[in-house]
Copies of this chain bind each other. A is one copy, B any other.
Amino acid sequence: MPAANSQPPRVRSGNQRDEAARLAVLHAADDLLVEHGFARLTIEAIARRAGVAKQTIYRWWPSKVEILLDTLIEDSEKRFPVPVEKSTEDSIRGYFRGFARFVTRDPAGKVLLALIAEAQHNPETARSLHSRYLDPRRELERDLLTRGIEAGEVSPRLDLDATIDAVVGPVVYRALTGASVPRGLVDALFDELLKPGA
């Protein structure tokens, strides 16, 4: 989807929040991150690209991190939702594969990595990232595993959180440091830590 930049000016809505402006900001942020990296993702640049005044951004988002979180939440839900009904071995394995694909090959995955990185630099980011993204998803992931265990589809060797971290952590770690993430890594970890009857 193209940026809203250099297009016929949007119709202004006057009194109401301008949905077009909101979307233009989200897309601009997304595009800039993918195209130029986090370092050049500045509020000025987003405003320029989105054809929006800086003040409009500051009015609605407390920081660029929250902009990214908004896009991340929407994109994650589209690209690899946590299965809420089926809990077969395959659907669980598929979910983790989906996560790895998102993080390593989907441009939108860059947003998650950038936010994790930023969380280290900035406690405020860590808090937002947890409360708005990581924690709610972790809740659903725990439910997924719990249902899988009850159905005998998986049998985790460690406690639930440790198990999820043990699969997710190595993928994120390699992605963050710019190392490749081997195709079979997730499967190997799954087999070792979750596969039933092993």
Contacts and interface: CB of A to CB of B under 8 A. Distances in A.
Interface of A: 37-39, 113-114, 116-123, 126-127, 129-130, 134, 157-158, 162, 165-166, 168-179, 182, 185, 188-189, 192-193
Q: Identify whether the interface residues of A are mostly helix, strand, loop, or mixed.
A: helix
- Among A120, A121, A178, A188, chain B packs the most CB atoms within 10 A around the CB of A120
Contact of A173 (B114, B129, B168, B185): B168
A162 B177 contact: no
A173 B123 CA distance: 15
Nearest to A178: B126
B130 A178 contact: yes
A117 B176 contact: yes
A172 to B, nearest CB: 5
A117 B117 CA distance: 4
A176 to B, nearest CB: 5
Contact of A37 (B121, B172, B193): B121
Nearest to A122: B39
Contact of A172 (B114, B126, B158, B173): B173
Contacts of A119: 117, 176-178
A158 B121 contact: no
Contacts of A192: 157-158, 166, 192-193
7 contacts: A37-B122, A38-B122, A39-B122, A114-B121, A119-B177, A158-B188, A165-B173
A83 B126 CA distance: 34
B157 A165 contact: no
A134 B176 contact: no
Contacts of A162: 170, 182, 185, 188-189
B165 A166 contact: no
A172 B178 CA distance: 14
A64 to B, nearest CB: 13
